[in-house]
Amino acid sequence: MLYVIYSEDVENSLAKRLSVREQHLARLSVLQDQGRLIVAGPCPILDSEDPGQAGFSGSLLVLEFDSLEQAQTWADADPYIAAGVYKSVTVKPFKKVMPV
């Protein structure tokens, strides 16, 4: 089943993000290689794909797991959490309707 993981950043999170970005992306690459990553990316603070030093307000992931518990466990182990990037993380089941 698919799961949405929506995370909200603390203020001024850019330096923290950059400090563990490679570890964060490495975990996502494993899921991508397994065909379980549907979409992943940050939410820029500015209305721009490159917000520069303004940074990001959070992240959105849509990933495939066997259960909500597995999705939550995976989300809880994100390096961004250990680095203090996120102030909150929400994991919810997701039903894809479109595109078919």
CB 93 within 8 A of CB 37: no
Residue with the two structure tokens 């929506």: 6
Looking at residue 59, its pLDDT comes to 98
Residue with the two structure tokens 């799961």: 3
CB 15 within 8 A of CB 80: no
- Integer Cα distance of 5 and 40 in angstroms: 9
Looking at residue 32, its pLDDT comes to 98
What is the pTM (predicted TM-score) of this model? 0.94
Average pLDDT taken over every residue of the chain: 97
Quick: pLDDT tens for 6-45.
Answer: 999 999 999 999 999 999 999 999 999 999 999 999 999 9
Of 30, 94, 16, give the one whose Cα is nearest residue 61. 94
